[in-house]
Amino acid sequence: MILKNKIRVNGKTILSPLCFVDKNDEIYIDSKKISFQKKIEILKLYKPINYICSKRKQDKRKIIYELISTKYKNYIFAGRLDINSEGLIILTNSSKVTQNLENPKNKFKRTYHVKVYGDLNLKKLKEKSKGFIYKNIRYKSFNYKILGDVKRNTWIELDLFEGKKNEIRQIFRSINLAVNKLKRISYGPFRLDKLNPAQINIASAKEISFYENHIRKIQR
């Protein structure tokens, strides 16, 4: 293309491949300007309890941005968790990624481990899992699996595809169970894995690839 005089940099036709450029230069190929796209970065944060998902301090409560390096201060989060919940939060420099993750139409599964206290009625839980209305709010169907129980304390794995505010607590409140612990272990292809509370890690290439492939399939 250079030999055919098709490349122009800052208004000058390039005659030799020995030409250094950076993202601030204007580069044209066949009169079409080349645009540089920023590299999308996706991070995984283990949010501890007693932190709120907010970019700005609202009161004396701690926020998740106090846990991360200043170079990530402009990143936005997907997958809000309340102050009493812990687990996976996604941080990214792309608003499109957060929109894709949070849009129910894209059907990204969120998986939680929940400890509830009280007398668990499996029949009622099964009925709720098909979808229900509670306090004039409709909750969609969900998947569940009993992990174990000791003295009225039951661990349940829960898969959601919507993500309404306080959805899990409302699910169990509707069958007279109190949520004592709530931990998100995955969000779509992104997994908490071996992260400890307050730790942050870069999403793996495999996780990002799964995310991108899922979006391509959904948006066809």
Cα separation, 190 vs 178, whole angstroms: 28
Cα–Cα distance for residue pair 177/115, rounded to 1 Å: 10
Active-site residues, by number, are 82
Helix, strand, coil percentages (3-state) for the chain, rounded to 5, are 20, 35, 45
H-assigned helices in the chain: 95-102, 122-128, 167-173, 205-218
Q: How far is CA 90 from the centre of its chain?
A: 4
Rounded CA-CA distance 137/92 in Å is 30
Residue 85's alpha-carbon distances to 26, 167, 211, in angstroms, are 48, 12, 24
